[in-house]
Structure formats: C-alpha cells, structure tokens
Chains A and B, each alone.
Chain A
Amino acid sequence: MNARAILDLSLPDLALVYGLILLVAALARLRGIGQERDLLWSSLRMVVQLLAVGYVLHFVFALESAASVLLILAVMTAFSVQAVAGRVKHRMPRFYRIVGSSMLVGCGGATFFFCNAVIGLDPWYDPRYLIPLAGMIIGNSMTGAALAAERLAAEMRERREEVETALCLGATARAASREAVRSAYRAALIPSINAMAAMGLVFLPGMMTGQILSGTEPITAVKYQIAVMCVITGSVAVTSFLILLQGYRAYFTPAHQFREEG
C-alpha cells in the first residue's frame, strides 16, 4: 500500500466534527422535537467505546505471540456463540456444543485459509490482519448461525408430523429431515447471497470504503472486498452447514426415532 500519506485527524478536528452533533441536539431542543438526550448519550457512548477499542487494538496489534492472538480469537468466538444463543429463542438439543464447534471450524477454517493460503501473512498470526478479518468473518457467520439454528428448531417443530410420517414409511433420520434442513440452510444463506448480488450497486461496502479513504488504490480495495466476500460467504455456508448437519442428528436417537425437544 503506497499512495499518499493518510490525513490524520487532530483532536481539534474531532471536536469540530462533534460540534455537529451538539448543533443538531441544540436545534432539537430549541424546536422541541425531542431526541436530544438520546442523541447526546449515544454519541458519548460511541466516542468512549471506540476510543477503548482503539486502545485495545493498539495494544493487540503490538502483540508478538501467537498464543495471545489465538486467545483473543477464542474470546471473540465465545462471545459470538453467546450472541447466537441470545438471538435464538428455541434452541436445539446440545445447542452450545453444536454451535460452538461449528463456529470454530467454519470461521477458524475460513480465516486461516484466507490469511495464510491466500494472502500469506508473515508472521502467520499478524494481528493487524488476522483480528479485523476474523471479526468480519465471525460477525457474518454469527448471523448465518443464528438463522440456521432458529430455522432448524422451528422446522423440526412445525414438521413433526411430516418427519414421523417419513420415518413410518421407512426413511432414515437424514431422509426424513431433508426438507427441514434444506429450508434452514436457505434461510441462513439468503443474507450473504443478497449481499453479494447487491454489492457495489446498492451500497459500497464499509471495508472497501475505509481502505479507499485511507489511501488504497480503488482497484486494490475492490480486490480485497471480493476476496473478503468470498471468504465470508464460505464461512457462513460452512458454519451453517455444520450446525445443520449436527443439529438434525440431535433430534433423533440412533434408532431413527424423533426425540421430544429438550
């Protein structure tokens, strides 16, 4: 990455731009249309949270041991599994084990594939690349995982009669739950599919925009964005697939019997 030096923002610059929020809040107050408290509170939170993250990243990027980078990735994954659990109302049996292992394999595989097989990081754990990329991959896979898990549980509940009828007709557990799994997989992949189709036309993705702003040649930024979208989609697909593969089995005994939920 060559190009011009990045235009850094000074503290007075920041104060000036924050003045915009204050102006908007003041106007809101003046005209009595409300929202100024929320506006101020949220903007303050944003400033504090981002500064905190900035310092954390500053510290993390300076890390020189693979173990500490991996530890951070593990913590990120754990938080994401927790977030998925929070979003999914009806959980399949063995939820944490299934979602956790799937996220680990799906996201971990995609991240390391990209960072090492494709861009060839040196050292392989270079946190400056690994952490933000893993963040994007985990964040997107989390959405896919939540959709897959939620949809599978709903399908299994709604299709109970269909599944048991299929079992009665001599189907294996796998054949009996095929429609439920297909439908859950579709639900998990739709956001990624739509995002890829609309990319560049409806919105300019944040990562690409950010790279361009920080001086990267647009074509280079575009190439990165294409690569990242492929990796994200791959990770979403693998994670959801693993969740569904283990998930449908959790609904059956080894004797192809449909289990009561829980």
Chain B
Amino acid sequence: MNEPQAALSIETVHKSRRAPDGRTVEILCGLSLDAHAAELTAIVGPSGGGKSTLVRLLNRLEEPDGGRILLFGEAIAGLDPLVLRRRIGLVPQKPFMFEGSVLDNLQRPFHLREEPPPAADSETLQSVLALCRLDPELLSRAARSLSLGQQQRVALARSLSTGPEVLLLDEPTSALDRPTADRLAATLREICRSRRLTILMVTHDLRLAGRVADHLAYLEAGVILEEGRPEELLNHPRTEQLRRFLAEPGTSEEEPA
C-alpha cells in the first residue's frame, strides 16, 4: 500500500474486556483501518460495536491486546504516552468542562503540562476560537453554564489549542440537536481543510458521517466490514449488515427531500 500516507494505521487490533459477569468479551476482533493525512475519516456503526474502545486505544488511554497502531509510520506503543497525547487530541463523547471560565478551560492543557498558557488575546487562542466558531465574548463565561453545543466547541477548541497532528472525535454530535449538529459538522469540515488536520471520528450518525467524511468505514462486531467513499457505501452497501444498519430508523434519519 503506497497510497497517500496514512496518518494513523490500525493493524489487526484486538481488545477484550471483562464483562460484569466475569466472562471475557472480545470488543475488537482484528480491526484494520488507515486514516489518511489531512482527511476526515468517519467510522460508523451501531452502539456497542467497539467504536469508543477503538478511540481510547488510539491515544493510549488503553492498550490493545494484540495488533499494532502506527502514527505516521511509528508504532505508538513505543512512544511516550504523554508525547503521543500531545500529538493526538481526543474529544470525548460528553465533553468535560473544568470548573472556571472558558478561558480557564482553554488554558488548562498548558497548566496541566506545566507550560506557560497563551493569553486571551493571543494569536493561538483567537485563531482556535475563530476556527471553532466561538464568540470571544464567551471567554469570561463559566464553562459549565454554556449550552451542550457550545461546550462541545470549547472542548474542540481546547484540544486544538495545543496543535495536535491528529484529532479523534467520539460521537461529537450525539448530545446535540439536528441544526446544532449540522453546524458542528460544517466546522469540523473546515478545520480539516484549513489546518490540514487528520480527523478520525466515530459516530452512529450515518447522515452526519456521509456529509462530512472523505472516507467512511462501517464497524460492526469489532471489525470493519466495509470502507470507501461515503456515497459508495451509502448508495451501494455490499454487506447485509450495512444494508440493515442503513434501513434502521435513527441512523440515516429523515433526509429532507
């Protein structure tokens, strides 16, 4: 495979978990996928398919049981996790806002890394605010008083402020209503283009994924069943599983005619 360079290469990754009843359940069963540099890759699939687990393996919040993951050709298992997590940002499904203002939240990563934080009027912060379509007026507001959509954007800006090479998004729109989700999707598209950032997003929202992704992969039961260009997958699903997923209500939702 000497195609465009893969920013992230996931090679036959396995991961099991101990279920509450003591049995071991395999979550990821030899999953392989490439996310190309400066592209937005979306992984869609039903809940419980292993999407969130995969995201946690990619910035080493957890370790896989087998297989390997490469970041620009380098095995992440050999990288210092602290360095790795500076290179790969992760915005979790339910963004956590630290106590304090939006500015405090944006400066938090720098405090946590014991680096001098950028000032409110610095180029770094102003440019991520603009990119994430956050009004600079919000900086002084208490972060926890913001709407969910705004919190999601603050979390995004917080991850971007430190300049990661890859951004991971876990269900970025699951808590948002349709118009808010659409606006966020447009913002993601723009971030990917203007910063030439590699984005890997997992979601069960097929409509969203179809609109924003350059590359789409369908994950069910711990493996990628199909991948390709979004319109290919959506219009000509090859597997029975994807066909069934497409037909489910709530995944492709009432597309306006």
A: which residues have CB within 8 A of B? 161-162, 164-172, 175-176, 255-258
Contact = CB atoms under 8 A, between A and B. Distances in A.
A164 B92 contact: yes
A167 B109 CA distance: 9
A165 B63 contact: no
Contacts of B89: 168
Contacts of A168: 59, 61, 85, 89-90, 92, 159
Contacts of B98: 162, 165
**Chain B interface bracket (under 10, 10 to 19, 20 to 34, 35 or more):** 20 to 34
Contacts of A175: 112-114
Interface in B33-63: 59-63
A161 B63 CA distance: 18
- Rank and list the top 10 A-B pairs by shortest CB-CB distance, nearest first: A171-B112, A169-B109, A165-B96, A168-B90, A161-B96, A170-B86, A255-B81, A170-B85, A175-B112, A170-B113
Contact of B92 (A165, A255, A256, A258): A165
A170 B108 contact: no
Contact of B158 (A164, A167, A169): A169
Nearest to A176: B112
Contacts of A170: 82, 85-86, 109, 112-113, 162
10 contacts: A161-B96, A164-B96, A165-B96, A165-B98, A166-B108, A168-B59, A169-B85, A169-B113, A171-B109, A255-B81
Nearest to B158: A169
B94 interface: yes
Contacts of A166: 108, 112
A167 B159 CA distance: 12
Contacts of B96: 161-162, 164-165
Interface centre among A161, A166, A169 (most CB of B within 10 A): A169
A256 B81 contact: yes
A167 B92 contact: no
A117 B86 CA distance: 49
Contacts of A167: 61, 85
Interface string B208-241: 0000000000000000000000000000000000
Contacts of A176: 112
B151 to A, nearest CB: 12
Contact of A257 (B62, B86, B94, B114): B62
A169 B86 CA distance: 7
Given A165-B95, A171-B109, 14 more contacts: A161-B94, A161-B96, A164-B92, A165-B98, A167-B85, A168-B59, A168-B61, A170-B86, A171-B112, A171-B113, A175-B112, A175-B113, A257-B61, A257-B62
A165 B170 CA distance: 13
Interface string B74-94: 000000011001100110101
B115 to A, nearest CB: 9
Contacts of A162: 96, 98
A170 B86 CA distance: 5
